[in-house]
Structure 1
Amino acid sequence: MTDASANPLLMPSPLPYQLPDYAHIRPAHYLPAFELAFEEHLQEISAITRVRSVPTFENTMVPLESSGRLLGDVARAFYTVASSDATAEIQQIEETLAPLMAAHEDAIQLDGALYARISMLHDRLDELSLDAEQRYLVQRWHREMTHAGAALDDAAKKHLTELNTQLSTLTTAFDKNLLGDTNELAVVFDDASELEGLSDGELSAAAQAAADRGLEGKHLVTLVLPTGHPYLASLTDRAARERIMTASRSRASRGNENDNRATLLQIVRLRAERAALLGYDSHAAYVTADETAGTPEAVHDLLRRLAAPAARNASREQAALEASAGTAVTAADWAFSTEKVRQAEYAIDTAALRPWFEAERVLRDGVFFAATKLYGITFTERDDLRAHHADARVFEVHNEDGSPQGLYILDLYTRDTKRGGAWMNSIVDQSALRGTKAVVVNNLNVSKPASGPTLLSLDEVNTLFHEFGHALHGLFATVSFPHFAGTEVFRDFVEFPSQVNEMWMLWPEVLDNYARHIETGEPLPAEIVEKLHASEAFNQGFETSEYLAAAWLDQAWHSLDQQQASEDLDVAGFEASALADIGLDNPAVPTRYSSTYFQHVFSGGYSAAYYSYIWSEVLDADTVEWFKEHGGLTRANGDRFRSLLLGVGGSKDPLEAYRDFRGRDADIAPLLKRRGLDG
């Protein structure tokens, strides 16, 4: 083991807000730090369970919430790197760590003595003088440990631990396979003429990506996580579009060493087996039992209710596209044809809008500006602080009164070692008990031009606002216990704050402040803004269908019982059958993620929960209506949203928090109207 005194992960960070000292952390430091942290955490739990006196909140819950601090610090520091800069060395560490981490989590969650103490507290809740957060902490720990299997007998616990260990290894392998095949399938173009339609910045990024791989004079288009690639809307060469779409859809299903089919089938089998062991009919039943949805039937009802009108709208859109194009429209053509029709009907060329969306201005004069207007917070870049990668930028966040709130880190650009998509994660959790403030990271995958400014697409601007909503959730939590920090809420609620934050992207005061032409400084013309609003429901049949198809695919895999999951399943056949079952099998409207590259559910935290986006959007759309009714971008509105929703983190039932804010349960009507499903 590495000398602890020489391992920066095992010493208090000398940096503000306890930001890990990444400048001195080396890959060799991680595993020794984890080993020591595992041991320390187990000793802390043992000290709690050895207490012979009657369990109290002070002798059980307080030390429980204080325990595992070193492990949490090391894990958050490592997994930030593992997701955004997964070199071969980091990947090997993650593979080694996966079963160790699963075993350790089981050792805590399944600890019979700890569960007994918490159960005694839970049984006596009404006799204890606890405040609301303390009471909810007991309830959540008891519920989560029960849900994890703490009430099982020893033989069942042993089998459960074996299943969890296997699953941790398989999900890590899925992620590694996907990253490897995504890099291998990046599409090489010999001549820039094949990429006609891309902007100078996009061509520069493609040329630089090729040069980085030793392909001087060529252009390389790297793949994004979803099925559709943003370049498909601009490329005039149909063959180029087909090459990109074919590469995207074949990821991790080509029969090579990165093929994920056998891996995902084994994941499905083991999850179904684990669910049965825990007393549930399926993995979906197990997952939803501890979400706001409650049951997979509730999820299925919502998805089916939305799927039929979405599919009808997509079919109408397809007919209009084909009439305009004078030919059949394939999945590779859809985005390009859509832009042509959008230009014809609304006179909007979204690709031509990039000069108004320079990344730095979007960040400072858009995302940060809206947050200042709503919440009074300000952002100061800290060039003296180094984050997990050289491209990542660190900003200190202060409240209006000058008090420090935490650190915000933005890692904007794509790279071969970074997983696809966009996400937020926490490096340091806020907790009054531990005296910590939040350090949060936003990761995106924007192509980095070889030189000059970074110009964002409309979708990338939306993604930045979305992910910043997660960041605010993490930054604003004001809780005592780390168990409730920031985004530690039910999975089908966590997307709600981020979706709400998207509304400010086109809010007049915000848009006018950031959408300025890179060369002239002129604002985005008013007529274009009007057309953007007028076209908000345009192409919603496609967008809703491709999302719902993925959400249904997730439910189909994870609604299998143990017997069904153990059958000899063909991945492509199962997927086709599932999509036909819900009527979302239009070849021109492919699922947002096919099974072999569905990272959210086979290696991320969204298994049987990808429905969460649309489930949360019911709350989001209803909240947008509230903001509009109450004056929009005001401090009073921001303070209410911050105090009653963002600030509570996970310290109370999320639907109760929503009722505190809205005064009632959410109404689905605004969502149906937004997506054009109310007709």
Structure 2
Amino acid sequence: MPTSDQDSLRNPLLHDSPLPYGLPDFEAIRTEHYLPAFAAGFQAHLAEIAAIRSNPEPADFQNTAEAMERSGRLLRNVSYVFFNLASADASAEIQEIEREIAPQLSAHSDAITLDSTLYARFAAIETDGLADEAQRLVAEYLDEFRRLGAALDEPAKARLRELNSALAELSTRFGQDSVANMNRAAVLVSDPAELAGLSDVEISAAAEAADQAGHPGGYLLTLILPSNQPALAALENRDVRQRLHTASVQRGATPDGIETLPTAKQIAALRAERAELLGFANHAEFETANQTAPSLTAIGSMLASLAPAAVRNAAAEAAALAEQAGHPIEAWDWSFYAEKVRAARFDIDLAALKPYFELDRVLHDGVFFAANRLYGLTFELRDDLPGYHPDVRVWEVKNRDGSGLGLFLGDYFTRDSKNGGAWMNELVAQSDLLDERPVVVNNLNISKPAAGKPALLSYDEVVTCFHEFGHALHGLFSEVTYPRFSGTNVPRDFVEYPSQVNEMWILWPEVVANYARHHETDEPLAPEIIDRLRAASLWGEGFATTEYLGAALLDQAWHQLAAGVDPGDPLEFETKALQAAGVDLPQVPPRYRTGYFNHIFASGYSAGYYAYIWSEVLDADTVEWFKEHGGLTADNGEHFRRELLSRGNRINPLQAFRNFRGRDAQIQPLLDRRGLN
């Protein structure tokens, strides 16, 4: 719709934010601002692109590549703000805008990447004598133009535009429907006795959730995105465990929810057709073409080599669980009896540790403390800066010398308007060219306690806090010229590496002693318990690796389909794919099943869920380097920051790893960590 001058003056998205570091002025932004801002962003960006492509001067780096990097700033800023909100606090109106904008963004992107004239200008740039980062920028643009279809003929481009638009709509629908299904699948319990095993804080949170959902007097067990639900480890009532597990794994496949399986099947089919049009055998080959993995064959070989040992370990664990339970183990029994065996073998009760993992203490005295010791960072809570939701807190991050680095936003509690899982977003990406410093967000889905109660974390949630902050560090430490290379804008199978490395500090003696304290008594977690936690680290790896590989191999199965091949019933296809890969343990469902596999059908991980374990090879080898060099020291932190975390994608990420490690990664530390020798 046309935007009047007066409307433009009132729309904060159309102007630079007056807040520090360019933090969006969330208090001023209204839902009605987004569509006009997107329209203005599209218009401005296309005008900038037109000026580049029609420039009468011969193409050179400044008037073409650098001009491209300067273009689209308004659209990029609006998109960062909007899509952060769409994932973290989406109203019905925001979801409607998302459905409207998704195909428009797809068409806008196609207008640029399919522009043969623009492609020709990049091909004409003389790169000899340019700085390394500038040469890499031109090469990356040329590769993108070729890969996304700039060289196709016009009929092929027309079909490609149709496919991209349809896929944008379907992916948006899948993501929104998955959130709706996750909320619908929450299990309502009327008798508190059926919640035996849960803590008072957890029962109170379930009562609060039920009350908010319109079930006063009841107790609502809300779900997280993965198949395995945290409450399964503690619930003593087997029937309630079965109800919760069944509700989780049947999402997207039941009449009382929204059927997402047909959407997933349609997405896979359209992606296969698009891949063929672009000259690839399948979508997985298309996606792998710009990753660090050398080939689809290399990915398949790695996953296949890990599966037999993982399944053997899982089968051994199942036998131990059945012995403990006195009956055969079903999927809904696994977590419950896994904790029983852990307690018996290692004298560890993870549920009993929750009082030692209070959210603010984990953050300030754990996550931030480790970052201070390694990198000299300090964190100042900025209550004067608004978040996009009352639960969001804003910290200013400063370097060792007191200079400002950026802003970090933490959004830790679950709500019906938020996607499941955990993630990091950028609100402002670092770029020397644009003189912008980073503003990053961490989102988790921790159950919000009742008023006046502490937020006590499971051990897995502690891991997630450290993991997501590793992504935040990757964004905060970025030192690149061009926004295309900023922070986490690296190949998808590399992006998880820094976040996984940051998990190593969870049980590091100096760190855990600082944050793991009882929230009431301030009593530290006993050193012998911490030692037993370390000793128990391999217990459960059979389950964890098998459920992960099930999801990664299922992803590959969907995306190695050739164009025109009908996979049939999605659930039957899923079963056959898991059987063919040798990971079809009925007690260990994939971490994500097809009906709620948001990573691959609604996010950026299609054909790329392998990235977690591919990155973990680098991660495990990096952990060994830190141990060899003295661990949590400022010198080690500076080396890791300088050689790797700050580099973004301005050099080849594997070369950045070599510069840090002194050699290529070795797989042995990963095999040791996961018990896969």
- Tell me the TM-score normalised to structure 2 length: 0.98
Identify the residue that residue 596 of structure 1 maps to in structure 2.
595
Match of residue 25, structure 2, among 14, 21, 45: 21
Structure 2 residue 508 is the aligned partner of structure 1 residue 504: no
1:34 counterpart (29, 38, 41): 38
RMSD: 0.9
Q: Which residue of 2 aligns with 1:653?
A: 652
User: In the alignment, what sits opposite 2:195?
Assistant: 195
Give, as a single letter, the amino acid of the residue that structure 2 aligns with 1:336.
F
Amino acid at match of 2:50: S
CA shift digits 1:223-257 (9 cap, x unpaired): 10000101100000001100100100111111356
**Alignment correspondent of 1:138:** 138
Cα distance in 2 for residues equivalent to 1:42 and 1:276: 29
Matched, 1:71 2:86: no
Task: Name the residue aligned to 1:521.
Answer: 522
1:279-334 C-alpha deviation (Å, 9 max, x unpaired): 00000010011111132211110000000000011001101110111101111000
CA distance in 2, matches of 1:613, 1:428: 25
Do residues 52 (structure 1) and 56 (structure 2) align? yes
- Note the C-alpha offset of 1:614: 0.2
Q: Is the Cα–Cα contact under 8 Å of residues 479 and 648 in structure 1 kept in the other structure? A: yes
What is the DSSP-based 3-state SS (H/G/I as helix, E as strand, rest coil) of the residue aligned with 1:151? coil
Amino acid at match of 1:596: G
Q: Does 1:607 align with 2:606?
A: yes
Aligned to 2:494, the other structure's residue is in SS state coil
Letter of the 1:511 counterpart: V
| Contact kept in structure 1, 2:251 and 2:257, CA below 8 Å | no
Partner of 1:644: 643
Runs of 4+ in 1 over 6 A off after TM superposition: none
Q: Is the 8 A contact 1:307 1:584 kept in 2?
A: yes
Name which of 111, 115, 119 aligns with 1:111.
Answer: 115
C-alpha separation in 2, matches of 1:148 and 1:535:
47
Query: In 2, Cα distance between the equivalents of 1:264 and 1:591?
Result: 16
What letter matches 1:492 in structure 2? D
The equivalent residue for 2:320 is: 320
Q: Which amino acid aligns with 1:447?
A: S
Q: State the match for 1:494 in structure 2.
A: 495
SS where residue 22 of structure 1 aligns? coil
The equivalent of 1:211 in structure 2 is 211
Write the deviation string for residues 521-565 of structure 1: whole angstroms up to 9, x where unpaired.
11111111110010111110010000000000000000011032x
1:484 is the counterpart of 2:488? no
Cα deviation 1:481-525 (Å, max 9, x = unaligned)? 000111000000000000000000110000000001112211111
Mapped pair 1:426 → 2:430 = no
Residue 119 (structure 2) pairs with residue 120 (structure 1) = no
CA distance in 2, matches of 1:495, 1:466: 9
Does the aligned pair in 2 maintain the 1:306–1:677 contact within 8 Å?
A: yes
| Equivalent position of 2:163 in the other structure | 163
Distance 1:236 1:568 in 2: 40
- How many Å apart are 1:569 and its aligned residue? 1.1
Q: Is the 8 A contact 2:567 2:573 kept in 1?
A: no
Shift of 1:274: 0.2
CA contact (8 A) 2:395 2:408 kept: yes
For residues 434-492 of structure 1, the C-alpha deviation after alignment (integer angstroms, 9 at most, x for no partner) is 01000000000000111211110000000000000000000000001000111000000
Secondary structure, counterpart of 2:590 in structure 1? coil
Whether 2:534 is the aligned partner of 1:533: answer yes
Could you tell me whether the CA contact under 8 Å between 1:205 and 1:447 is conserved in 2? Answer: yes
C-alpha deviations, 1:602-628, integer Å up to 9, x for none?
A: 001000000000000000000000000
Check if 1:83 corresponds to 2:87: yes
Query: Which residue does 2:583 correspond to in 1?
Result: 584
* 2:221 equivalent in structure 1: 221
**Partner Cα distance (1:100, 1:468) in 2:** 32
Per the TM alignment, residue 137 of structure 1 is displaced from its structure 2 partner at its CA by: 0.6
**Contact conserved, 1:80 with 1:388, CA < 8 A, in 2?**
no
> What's the offset of the Cα at 1:568?
5.5
Over the matched positions of the two proteins, sequence identity in percent amounts to 54
SS of alignment partner, residue 170 of structure 2: helix
Q: CA deviation at 1:578?
A: 0.5
**Distance in 2 between the 1:570 and 1:293 partners?**
31
1:243 corresponds to which residue? 243
Q: Is the 8 A contact 1:369 1:510 kept in 2?
A: yes
Give the structure 1 partner of residue 467 of structure 2.
Answer: 466
Amino acid paired to 2:612:
Y
1:283 to 2:287 alignment:
no
1:14 partner SS: coil
On the 8 A contact 2:184/2:257 being kept in 1, the answer is no
Separation in 2 of the partners of 1:338 and 1:159? 51
The answer to whether the Cα contact below 8 Å between 1:325 and 1:337 also exists between their aligned partners in 2 is yes
Deviations, residues 58-95 of structure 1 (Å, cap 9, x unaligned): 11111110000000000000001000011111100000
Distance 1:145 1:387 in 2: 37
Q: What code does the residue aligned with 2:12 have?
A: P
Shift of 1:157: 1.1
Q: How far does residue 102 in structure 1 lie from its aligned partner after superposition?
A: 0.5
The range that moved more, 490-499 or 54-63, is: 54-63
- 2:469 matches 1:475: no
How many Å apart are 1:201 and its aligned residue?
1.3
1:100 and 2:99 are equivalent in the alignment: no
Structure 2: distance between partners of 1:272 and 1:133: 34
Aligned with 2:592: secondary structure?
coil
| Alpha carbons 2:251, 2:595 under 8 Å: kept | yes
Aligned counterparts, 1:432-447, within 5 A: 432-447=432-447
Q: Does the 8 A contact of 2:551 with 2:593 survive in 1? A: yes
1:271 maps to what in 2? 271
Paired with 1:232 and 1:381, the residues of 2 have a C-alpha distance of: 35
Q: In 1, Cα distance between the equivalents of 2:114 and 2:634?
A: 45
Corresponding position of 1:671: 670
C-alpha distance in structure 1 between counterparts of 2:150 and 2:291, whole Å: 19
Q: Deviations over 1:104-143 (max 9, x none)?
A: 011111111111111112xx43xx2211111111111111
Q: Which runs of 5+ in 1 are unaligned?
A: none
Q: Which residue identity does 2:445 align to in structure 1?
A: N
Deviations 1:570-597 (A, max 9, x none): 1111000000111111100111000010
Give the SS at the match of 1:298: helix
Q: Distance in 2 between matches of 1:232 and 1:171?
A: 30
Question: How many residue pairs get matched?
Answer: 672
Instruction: Give the aligned residue type for 2:628.
Output: E
Q: Find the aligned partners of 1:320 and 1:257 in 2 and give their Cα distance.
A: 36
Counterpart of 1:664 in 2: which secondary structure?
A: coil
| SS at structure 2 position matched to 1:519 | coil
**1:5 CA displacement:** 0.8
Query: Matches of 2:567 and 2:544 in 1, distance apart?
Result: 32
2:455 corresponds in structure 1 to 454
* Paired residue type of 1:35: A
How big is the shift at 1:150?
Answer: 1.2
Alpha-carbon contact 2:374-2:632 (below 8 Å) kept: yes
3-state SS of paired residue (2:394): strand
Deviations 1:629-673 (A, max 9, x none): 000000000000001101001111110110010011000000000
Is residue 206–residue 219 contact of structure 1 (8 Å, CA) maintained in 2? yes
Aligned AA for 2:641?
A: R
Given that residues 425 and 440 in structure 2 are in contact (C-alpha distance below 8 angstroms), is that contact kept between their aligned partners in structure 1?
Answer: yes
Distance between the aligned counterparts of 1:129 and 1:11, measured in 2? Answer: 37
**Distance in 1 (alpha carbons) for counterparts of 2:388 and 2:146:** 36
Matching residue of 1:572: 571
Give the TM-score of the pair, scaled to structure 1. 0.98
Query: In the aligned structure 2, how far is the partner of 1:272 from the partner of 1:294?
Result: 21
* Residue of structure 2 in register with 1:371 after alignment: 371
Secondary structure of residue in 2 paired with 1:536: helix
Question: Match of 1:51, as an amino acid?
Answer: N
